[in-house]
Copies of this chain bind each other. A is one copy, B any other.
Amino acid sequence: MSPNLDPPYIARCAVLAMALEVSGTPKPGNIDRDHDYVDTKYEDFIAAAIGVFPVMEKACTGGGIGELILEASDECVKWQSGGNTHFGAYILLFPLIKAAMSGTDHLKENAIDIVRDTTVNDAVDFYKAFSKVAVRMKDSEDLDVRDDSSLEELRERGLTMYDIMEISSKNDMVAKEWVNGFARCFKAGRSILEKRKTGSLNDATVLTYLELLAEEPDTFIVKKYDLEKAHYTQRLAIDVMDRRMTLNELSNRLYMEKINPGSTADIIIAGLFIALLSGLKV
């Protein structure tokens, strides 16, 4: 284990990953340093990232994944007025933070073990946190998260948080990361590190985001609109990759059409965190 990988170090990497992700511009469709939404602004994301520092530090040494997501969600909204800005990111960051406490050599394997070890209590806490953000999204198809009866049902069926993520994985690319061994998070991390060798940190972030967008339809867009809109966004990203459209044109189009690929941004946060742990230079 690197002497640096202590809780205060790991927590700062997690906070910095959130701050760098939202700073990366233009990150078509999502909030960045030059793009606000009506109800959420860039500074909300920055304050939210800094505000959850103690929860990130606590995650290194204790707390269940569900409990940590619930705590971070509560803390997040105390620091700014843009809502629960990082809910999807927490789902990825907390297992990775815990895994980082055993060093970076087996980060992926350790994160896989950690999510598989989640409990029914994690699932219950996760749903409590999710129910607070659910008003902003369509319902989960699998469980109604807005009433206590669904929490009872969770307990009766003995579903762990891992089970919930497995059920959700076909409709949610963040949940899918729990099932596929954080494959796209690590891929994003490698891509950011590789691109940083020859380019700026901002370009490494933005270009990796674009690659992810071109690779798979963003499931946040599917939930907010439908699969067709997500495929449309993916095709536009491919157009930029193939130089049939500029990044700024894509950016303007997605902002005008209010299409925000939020889950892809969550993967970028996890990728930046992995890259920072692996020596990414700011």
Are A23 and B43 interface neighbours, CB within 8 A? yes
User: 4 nearest interchain CB pairs?
Assistant: A47-B282, A33-B33, A80-B282, A8-B54
Instruction: Collect the chain B residues with CB atoms within 8 Å of residue A12's CB.
Output: 50-51, 53-54, 79
Are B81 and A43 interface neighbours, CB within 8 A? no
Contact A43 to B282, CB < 8 A, known contacts A33-B34, A34-B34: yes
A interface residues, Cβ below 8 angstroms from B: 8, 11-12, 15-16, 19-20, 23, 33-34, 41-44, 46-47, 50-51, 53-54, 79-81, 200-202, 281-282
Instruction: Collect the chain B residues with CB atoms within 8 Å of residue A15's CB.
Output: 50, 53
Q: Is the interface of A mostly helix, strand, loop or mixed?
A: helix
Are A202 and B43 interface neighbours, CB within 8 A? yes
Are B79 and A47 interface neighbours, CB within 8 A? no
Q: List 21 A-B residue pairs with CB atoms under 8 Å apart, sorted by A's residue number.
A: A12-B53, A12-B54, A15-B53, A16-B46, A16-B47, A16-B51, A16-B79, A19-B47, A20-B43, A20-B47, A23-B42, A23-B43, A33-B34, A34-B34, A43-B202, A43-B282, A44-B282, A53-B53, A79-B282, A81-B281, A81-B282
